[in-house]
Amino acid sequence: MKYETVIGLEVHVQINTKTKIFCSCSTEFGMPPNANTCPICLGMPGVLPVLNKQFLESAMKACLATHCTIAPMNRFARKNYFYPDLPKGYQISQFEEPLGINGYININIDGTKKRIGLTRIHMEEDAGKLIHGENLGSPGKSYVDFNRTGVPLCEVVSEPDLRSAQEARAYLGELKSILQYAEVSDCNMEEGSLRCDANISLRPEGQKEFGTRTELKNLNSFKFVQKAIEYEVDRQTRILEQGDKVIQETRLYDSDKGETFSMRSKEEAHDYRYFPDPDLVPVVLEEAWVEEIKKTIPELPEQKRERFAKEYGLPEYDAGVLTSSRELADYFEKCTSLFAKPKIISNWIMGDLLRELNKSNQEIGECPLSPEALVNLLKLIDEGVISGNIAKSVFEEMYQTGKEASVIVEEKGLKQITDDKAIDEMVEGVLQANPSQVEEYKGGKEKVLGFLVGQVMKTSKGKANPGAVNKLLKEKISKM
């Protein structure tokens, strides 16, 4: 039997703020343990949480950027459970009245656009960090760092619209990109500012009802999201094909083994007993305020992608790569404003520039090469001063040393030979040195011409113009 995969993702995103959601403790990453804590986030008796306005506005921005409808009235609820990373014995979250509902994100799968629905986006506080292990004291104990407790999060819940691990990964990539464009989150998976849980089930193709799902928790990299889902789909397929039943449970992904395993310890049925948090007053969002926030949303990745394809005549693939981050898109557009050959610029950015950045594990923001410097190099090729091949090595040196293209070309004498006499002599020399190849070419083996051009380029140390050499060779052979 053929099975259809059904996936829904729950993504927790840390929203950029200076302070926590309900208290004035800093959210700075990498502080000593428990340095960013106070009576409020430690859940001491008698304290009063007060909502961070900046967080609320950024969360609204996240909702609007993903086409969610903002609820005119919002409340916070207590989600009750005991766990040592949760000092109050409850997490302040939203339940019946989330901030945003009914949104969507468009993803691109093999050139086809697909709309993925968002059930809701709600506001909540993060929990602390548990550390197990002996280097903090006793191997028989666990240790708690509450610095993350109360860090503001948005939970983004998708509809079960995803049909493969590839779609899940694309969705996560698009969501990340939107939130980064909107400047509401860094979405840094290593620092835990973007975390993902996946609900996965299979059903016979054509069946309407969902199958039994498992929940994969704490997928903390893009690669793991895809691998863990792929593994889980295989596992469930095997179970169903044997005629067995999938057990509804929470599973974790072991990235070393590449397997998912059951998290049995938490299997007791949850009963969170949500109720409105009496410490926090309702949030009323007037239309005017929502409109105000809407105005702060910049051009988003999808719009930019479409504009790049249309305005610059770029292939969809190029537009996708160039708009993968706002900084990269800005870099590209700065280049095109200086040099109106977008496809050439795109090729250099996607090829040489991104390769160098990847090599040194840098982001475009850290790129040592300014758009002006890159464009100056491209102009040298365009004007015929250097060949495209030479330009590659000039580029590498510019990247390493930060020198201007023209300076490197001058210093190393890399200018294309425009002296016709000099090229003529080189061509003559190559023809004389390779009589048998010349005969082969005359006999109809046209491929040999490439070899001869190569020989001339070698003699000129790459400084001859290959087009001119090609033409000259043909002329000379035809006269032989």
**Applying CB under 8 A, which residues contact another protein?**
17-19, 22-26, 32-35, 37-40, 42, 44, 50-56, 73, 75, 80, 82-84, 130-132, 136-138, 140-146, 265, 271, 273, 276, 278, 281-284
CB of 228 to another protein, least distance (A): 20
Q: Min. distance of Cβ 393 from another protein in angstroms?
A: 49
At its nearest, how many Å lie between another protein and the CB of residue 128? 9
Tokens representing 23 are 């208290």
What Cα–Cα distance (Å) separates residue 53 from each residue in 12, 24, 71, 123, 193? 19, 12, 16, 12, 19
Residue 85 makes CB contacts below 8 A (sequence gap 6+) with: 127, 128, 129, 130, 144, 146, 149
Smallest separation (angstroms) from another protein to the CB of 61? 14
Enumerate the H helices of 414-465 as residue ranges: 420-433, 435-442, 448-459
Nearer to another protein, 14 or 346 (CB): 14
Q: Do 427 and 381 contact (CB within 8 A), yes or no? A: no
Residues 6+ apart with CB under 8 A from 27: 14, 17, 18, 19, 20, 36, 151, 152
> What is the Rg, in whole angstroms, of the alpha carbon atoms belonging to the chain?
30
CA 366 – CA 360 distance, rounded (Å) = 10
Q: 141 or 461: whose CB is closer to another protein?
A: 141
Cα 219 versus chain centre, distance: 15
> Toward another protein, which CB reaches closer, 31 or 344?
31
Nearer to another protein, 18 or 223 (CB): 18
- Least Å distance, CB 88 to another protein, is 14
Closest by CA to 49, choosing from 84, 8, 71, 78, is 78
Among candidates 134, 130, 182, which has minimal Cα distance to 13? 182
Q: How far is the CB of 52 from another protein (least distance, A)?
A: 5
For the CB of residue 261, give the shortest distance to another protein in the complex, in Å: 13
Nearer to another protein, 262 or 400 (CB): 262
Closer to another protein by Cβ: residue 23 or 375: 23
Nearer to another protein, 40 or 473 (CB): 40
- 378 sits in the region (left: phi over 0; alpha: psi -120 to 50; else beta) called alpha
Cβ closest to another protein, residue 21 vs residue 364: 21
59, with CB counted inside 10 A (0-12, 13-18, 19+), is buried
Residue closer to another protein by CB (options 94, 323) is 94
With respect to another protein, which residue has the nearer C-beta, 139 or 413? 139
Residues in the chain: 480
Minimum Å distance from CB 107 to another protein?
A: 32
What's the burial of 472, exposed, middle or buried (CB within 10 Å: 0-12/13-18/19+)? Answer: buried
Answer whether 115's CB lies under 8 Å from 163's CB: no
CA distance 319 to 312: 9
Least distance from another protein to the Cβ atom of residue 409, Å: 51
Least spacing, CB of residue 225 vs another protein, in Å? 24
